[in-house]
């Protein structure tokens, strides 16, 4: 295949939001290079960084589980417009390290890796199937139901909020 054909195939996978491990690994490499070169920048909803800081200061352990590779997650948090958020995050999980986000076993793997009882773990997501998988694994879950996002207004098997400001986490 030509470079143009490969690029077109990759664009098609991204447009379909395919959660393929090889694609996410490639994205992670490209993102890391782009962040390092100052060519790309991450984005967070404005309510997220202050809550991450507050939870961290309160002794709440924070970890990230994303379909994006760990290689892409770290620079995303390091290059946040609000400053480097990586000191707040204890660990990062992706579909290679933990498994697919829509499968109960993935959340069991993460709880074991973190050494936390599932019922003491809280998962935040905007995807109904991810909420269901986390709850099936015994986790607490809160659905982020933000206007304009792909799953806004979906039926969630958990409490839903529109902002991190509505979430109260205790140790």
User: In terms of pLDDT, which residue wins out, 90 or 41?
Assistant: 90
Q: What is the mean pLDDT of residues 81-105?
A: 96
Distances (CA, A) of 148 to 5, 80, 88, 151, 154: 32, 22, 28, 8, 12
Q: What is the pLDDT of residue 31?
A: 83
Q: What is the pLDDT of residue 110?
A: 98
Q: What is the per-residue pLDDT for 20?
A: 76
* All residues at 6 or more sequence positions from 123 whose CB lies less than 8 Å from its CB, including other chains: 65, 107, 130, 131, 134, 139, 140, 141, 142
100 has a pLDDT exceeding 90: yes
Q: Please determine, for residue 11, whether its predicted confidence score (pLDDT) is greater than 80.
A: yes
Measured N-to-C along each axis, helices 21-36 and 70-78 cross at an angle, to the nearest 10 degrees, of: 30
Q: What integer pLDDT is reported at residue 81 of this predicted model?
A: 93
> Residues for the chain: how many in total?
171
Q: Higher-confidence residue: 103 or 31?
A: 103
- Residue 26 in this model has a pLDDT that exceeds 80: yes
Predicted confidence at residue 111, as pLDDT, reads: 98
Mean pLDDT of 56-66: 97
Confidence of residue 18 (pLDDT cuts 50, 70, 90): confident
The closest of 50, 53, 62, 58 to 93, measured between CA atoms, is 62
> Is it the case that residue 21 has pLDDT exceeding 90?
no
The residues, ordered by sequence, that sit 6+ positions from 71 with a Cβ below 8 Å of its Cβ are 25, 28, 29, 31, 32
Asked if 97 and 67 touch (Cβ cutoff 8 Å), the reply is no
User: What pLDDT was estimated at residue 17?
Assistant: 75
Residue of 121, 75, 138, 66 lying closest to 99 (CA atoms): 66
Look at residue 74 in the predicted model and tell me its pLDDT: 93
Q: Could you tell me which residues come within 8 angstroms of residue 150 by beta carbon, excluding any fewer than 6 positions away?
A: 126
For residues 41 and 141, the model is more confident at 141
DSSP string, 82-96: T---GGG-SEEE-TT
For residue 52 the two structure tokens come to 């991450």
**Tens digits of per-residue pLDDT, 109-148?**
999 999 999 999 999 999 999 999 999 999 999 999 999 9
CA 91 to CA 125: how far, in whole Å? 17
pLDDT over threshold 90, residue 103: yes
Tally Cβ neighbours within 10 Å of residue 42: 17
């Amino acid at each position: 295949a030509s470079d143009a054909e490969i690029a077109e195939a990759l664009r098609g996978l991204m447009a379909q939001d395919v959660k393929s491990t090889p694609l996410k690994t490639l994205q992670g490499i490209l993102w890391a290079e782009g962040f390092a070169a100052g060519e790309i920048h991450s984005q967070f909803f404005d309510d997220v960084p202050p809550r991450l800081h507050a939870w961290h200061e309160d002794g709440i352990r924070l970890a990230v589980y994303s379909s994006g590779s760990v290689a892409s997650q770290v620079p995303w948090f390091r290059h946040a417009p609000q400053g480097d958020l990586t000191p707040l995050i204890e660990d990062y999980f992706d579909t290679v390290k933990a498994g697919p986000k829509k499968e109960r076993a993935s959340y069991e793997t993460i709880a074991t890796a973190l050494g936390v009882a599932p019922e003491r773990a809280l998962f935040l997501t905007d995807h109904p199937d991810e909420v269901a998988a986390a709850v099936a694994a015994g986790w607490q879950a809160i659905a982020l139901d933000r206007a304009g996002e792909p799953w806004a207004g979906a039926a969630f098997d958990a409490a839903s909020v529109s902002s991190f400001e509505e979430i109260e986490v205790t140790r």
